[in-house]
Structure 1
Amino acid sequence: MGHIRAAKHQQLRAANVFRPLVCTIIMLMTLSFHVLASPSSASEYRGLLPHRMLAGRASNQSSSFLDVFQVSPPVLSPEDAPCEKTLMVHSFAFSYGKPFVGEYSPPSCDFNRVTFNFTVVSAGRQFDRLGLMYFNDTEVFRTSTAEPTATGIEWTYIKDMTNFLVLFKEPQKIIFDLGNLVNEIYTASFNATLTATFFTDNVASAPADVIIPISARQSANNAPSAFSLPGQNATNALTLPRNVKKAVFSISACGQAAEEFWWGNVPSSNLLTFPAMELSGYSPFRETQLYIDGMLAGVAWPFPVIFTGGVDPGFWRPVVGIDAFDLREDEIDVSAFLPVLCDGDEHTFEIRVAGISDDGYGHGSLTNTVGASWVVTGKIFLWLDASDWITTGSNLVRIDPHPALHISSSVSSLPNGTNVTLEYSVQVQRHLSLSSTIKTSEGSRVASWQQTLTFSNQGNYSDGGNLQINTQSTKGVDLSSLGYSRAYDYPLWATTAYAFYPDDAFTIGASIDRSKNVQTLGQLAFPSGLQTFGFEETIHPNLSPFSGTTTVNRQNGTATYTSIPSQSRSYSSGSTEQDLKFAGVEASLSDLQRGLPDVKGSTELYHRHVLAVNSSVVEDEESFSGQTFPIYHSSSTGNQDFAPLSLKYMLGRGPYGT
Structure 2
Amino acid sequence: MTYLISITGNTVFISSLNVLTARASTPAAAILECFQVSPPVETPVDALCTQVLMVHSFANSYGNPFLGDYVPPLCDFNRVTFNFTVTSAGRQFDRLGLMYLNDTEIWRLSTAEPTSTGIEWTYLKDMSHVLALFKEPQRIIFDLGNLINDVYTAPFNTTLTAMFFKESSPLQAADLIIPVSARQGAVDKPSAFIVPDAVATNDLMLPQNVRRAVFSISACGQAAEEFWWSNVLSSDTATFNGTTLNGYSPFREVQLLIDGIIAGITWPFPVIFTGGVVPGLWRPIVGIDAFDLIEDGIDITPFLPLLCDGGKHRFEIRVAGISDDGKGNARLTETVASNWVVTGKIFIWSDEDGYVTSGTGPIIQSPPALIALASKVGQATNGTNSTLDYHVNVDRSLDISATIQTSSGTYGATWSQRVTYSNVGNFSNSGNDQLNMQKTNGMAASNIERLSPYSSSFSYPIMVASRYMSFPDSDNFTLQATMDRGKDVKSSGALWFLLDESYGHSNLQSESTLSTHQNGTATYYSIPAESRAAGFGSTEQKLVYFDDISGYSRHVRADNSTITFDDETIQGQAREKSWSAITAGAEDEYVKMTIKDMVGRGPIGLGDEV
Tell me whether the two structures share a fold, i.e. TM-score over 0.5. yes
- Given candidates 489, 494, 508, the residue that maps to 1:518 is 489
- Given candidates 586, 601, 605, the residue that maps to 1:653 is 601
2:492 partner amino acid: L
| Equivalent residue number for residue 461 of structure 2 | 491
Contact 1:185 1:568 survives alignment (8 Å): no
| Equivalent residue number for residue 248 of structure 2 | 282
Distance 1:622 1:70 in 2: 13
| Equivalent residue number for residue 623 of structure 1 | 569
Report the Cα offset of residue 572 of structure 1. 1.7
Distance 1:471 1:202 in 2: 46
Mean Cα displacement is larger for which, 117-126 or 638-647?
A: 638-647
Report the Cα offset of residue 82 of structure 1. 3.7
Contact 2:46 2:165 survives alignment (8 Å): no
| Equivalent residue number for residue 643 of structure 1 | 591
1:142 aligns with 2:108: yes
TM-score (norm 1): 0.86
| Equivalent residue number for residue 67 of structure 1 | 33
TM-score (norm 2): 0.92
Report the Cα offset of residue 568 of structure 1. 2.1
1:565 aligns with 2:528: yes
1:141 and 1:92, CA in 2 relative to 1: closer, same or farther beyond 3 A? Answer: same
1:152 and 1:478, CA in 2 relative to 1: closer, same or farther beyond 3 A? Answer: same
1:55 and 1:472, CA in 2 relative to 1: closer, same or farther beyond 3 A? Answer: closer
1:99 and 1:636, CA in 2 relative to 1: closer, same or farther beyond 3 A? Answer: farther
Report the Cα offset of residue 656 of structure 1. 4.9
1:118 and 1:625, CA in 2 relative to 1: closer, same or farther beyond 3 A? Answer: closer
1:173 and 1:399, CA in 2 relative to 1: closer, same or farther beyond 3 A? Answer: same
Distance 2:491 2:498 in 1: 11
Distance 2:289 2:43 in 1: 20
Distance 2:566 2:9 in 1: 20
Distance 1:97 1:271 in 2: 33
| Equivalent residue number for residue 13 of structure 2 | 53
Report the Cα offset of residue 204 of structure 1. 5.1
Unpaired segments of 5 or more residues in structure 1?
Answer: 1-45, 529-535, 586-602
1:520-572 CA-to-partner distances (Å, cap 9, x unmatched) read 110111699xxxxxxx99xxx9x754531010010001111111122222112
Report the Cα offset of residue 619 of structure 1. 1.1
SS at match of 1:345: coil
Report the Cα offset of residue 277 of structure 1. 1.9
| Equivalent residue number for residue 554 of structure 2 | 608
- Structure 1's consecutive aligned runs of 4 or more residues displaced over 3 angstroms after TM superposition are 46-51, 55-64, 77-82, 543-547, 630-636
Contact 1:58 1:631 survives alignment (8 Å): no
1:522 and 1:80, CA in 2 relative to 1: closer, same or farther beyond 3 A? Answer: closer
1:339 aligns with 2:305: yes
1:94 aligns with 2:60: yes
2:489 partner amino acid: V
Q: How does 1:215-226 map to 2 (within 5 A)?
A: 215-226=181-192
Report the Cα offset of residue 381 of structure 1. 0.1
| Equivalent residue number for residue 3 of structure 2 | none
Contact 2:101 2:140 survives alignment (8 Å): yes
2:513 partner amino acid: T
Distance 1:203 1:227 in 2: 36
Mean Cα displacement is larger for which, 630-639 or 160-169?
A: 630-639
| Equivalent residue number for residue 409 of structure 2 | 443
| Equivalent residue number for residue 32 of structure 1 | none
Distance 2:467 2:178 in 1: 45
Contact 1:355 1:370 survives alignment (8 Å): yes
Report the Cα offset of residue 311 of structure 1. 0.2
Q: How does 1:451-466 map to 2 (within 5 A)?
A: 451-466=417-432
Contact 1:50 1:624 survives alignment (8 Å): no
Contact 1:615 1:635 survives alignment (8 Å): no
1:488 partner amino acid: F
1:473 and 1:481, CA in 2 relative to 1: closer, same or farther beyond 3 A? Answer: same
Distance 1:425 1:55 in 2: 41
Distance 2:510 2:134 in 1: 28
1:555 aligns with 2:518: yes
1:203 and 1:568, CA in 2 relative to 1: closer, same or farther beyond 3 A? Answer: farther
User: Comparing both chains, which one has the higher relative contact order based on Cα–Cα distances under 8 Å and sequence gaps of 6 or more?
Assistant: 1
1:272-324 CA-to-partner distances (Å, cap 9, x unmatched) read 11021221000000000000000000000000000000000001000000000
1:507 and 1:407, CA in 2 relative to 1: closer, same or farther beyond 3 A? Answer: same
Contact 2:174 2:497 survives alignment (8 Å): no
Report the Cα offset of residue 59 of structure 1. 4.2
- Given candidates 312, 320, 324, the residue that maps to 1:354 is 320
| Equivalent residue number for residue 41 of structure 1 | none
SS at match of 1:618: strand
1:557 and 1:54, CA in 2 relative to 1: closer, same or farther beyond 3 A? Answer: same
1:224 partner amino acid: P
1:23-69 CA-to-partner distances (Å, cap 9, x unmatched) read xxxxxxxxxxxxxxxxxxxxxxx984799222654549699421100
Query: How many residues of Structure 1 are paired with residues of Structure 2 in the alignment?
Result: 585
Distance 2:118 2:361 in 1: 59
1:7-29 CA-to-partner distances (Å, cap 9, x unmatched) read xxxxxxxxxxxxxxxxxxxxxxx
SS at match of 2:356: coil
- Given candidates 68, 90, 93, the residue that maps to 1:127 is 93
Contact 1:510 1:560 survives alignment (8 Å): yes
Report the Cα offset of residue 637 of structure 1. 2.5
Q: How does 1:137-536 map to 2 (within 5 A)?
A: 137-203=103-169, 205-482=171-448, 483-501=453-471, 502-525=473-496
Distance 2:527 2:11 in 1: 47
Contact 2:15 2:40 survives alignment (8 Å): no
SS at match of 1:85: strand
Contact 1:53 1:75 survives alignment (8 Å): yes
- Given candidates 572, 579, 582, the residue that maps to 2:542 is 579
1:581-616 CA-to-partner distances (Å, cap 9, x unmatched) read 00226xxxxxxxxxxxxxxxxx97110111110001
Contact 2:394 2:422 survives alignment (8 Å): yes
Distance 2:588 2:419 in 1: 41
1:115-137 CA-to-partner distances (Å, cap 9, x unmatched) read 00010000001000000000000
How large is the RMSD of aligned CA atoms in angstroms?
2.3
- Given candidates 70, 73, 81, the residue that maps to 1:107 is 73
1:514 partner amino acid: R
Distance 1:47 1:497 in 2: 48
Unpaired segments of 5 or more residues in structure 2?
Answer: 1-5
Report the Cα offset of residue 651 of structure 1. 0.4
1:618 and 1:51, CA in 2 relative to 1: closer, same or farther beyond 3 A? Answer: farther
Report the Cα offset of residue 624 of structure 1. 2.2
2:597 partner amino acid: Y
SS at match of 1:368: coil
1:424-477 CA-to-partner distances (Å, cap 9, x unmatched) read 001110011010000111111111100111111000000101110011010101
Contact 2:7 2:13 survives alignment (8 Å): no
Report the Cα offset of residue 171 of structure 1. 0.4
Q: How does 1:541-552 map to 2 (within 5 A)?
A: 545=508, 547-552=510-515
Report the Cα offset of residue 636 of structure 1. 6.4
